[in-house]
Amino acid sequence: MRVDSAMEDFEKSKAFLKQAGPNGQSLYDHLTDTILHIVKEKPADSLNSFEQLSVHVKANKLVPPLLKELDSAPSKNGVESKQDAKVCRTSFVLFFATADLIH
């Protein structure tokens, strides 16, 4: 009976974490992506840098639509678009990280 109760609690908790937020992402998805990033990159001090890694993963999820817009923007030789996209990504990540720390 205890195992059934524990499994039920686990499934309820998992369902709660899988609820999508306003941006369509769930905490479950974000944690999964963050852990996958840690496993792939193997940072030296993953525990102490977890929050930074989390911000990085979250920002990278939000940036691509903006970059697609910049990449499709007309330019004289194609270089401006790539440079604009790089500046946009860097600015967005810095802004997002700062805003996340303030709130």
Domain containing residue 71: 2-102
The pLDDT value recorded for residue 86 is 67
Mean pLDDT score across all residues of the chain? 77
Residue 3 pLDDT > 60, yes or no?
A: yes
The pLDDT value recorded for residue 103 is 45
Angle between helices 50-72 and 79-102 (to 10 degrees): 150
The 10s digit of each residue's pLDDT in 47-73 is 998 998 898 888 777 665 655 565 566
Got the DSSP string for 40-69?
Answer: HH--TTTTTTHHHHHHHHHHHHHHHHHHHH
The count of structural domains within the chain is 1
The pLDDT value recorded for residue 15 is 94
Q: Cβ contacts of residue 96 below 8 Å, gap of 6+?
A: 55, 58, 59, 62
Angle between helices 27-41 and 2-17 (to 10 degrees): 90
Task: Indicate whether this model's pTM tops 0.75.
Answer: no
The pLDDT value recorded for residue 12 is 94
The pLDDT value recorded for residue 70 is 59
Higher pLDDT, 18 or 77: 18
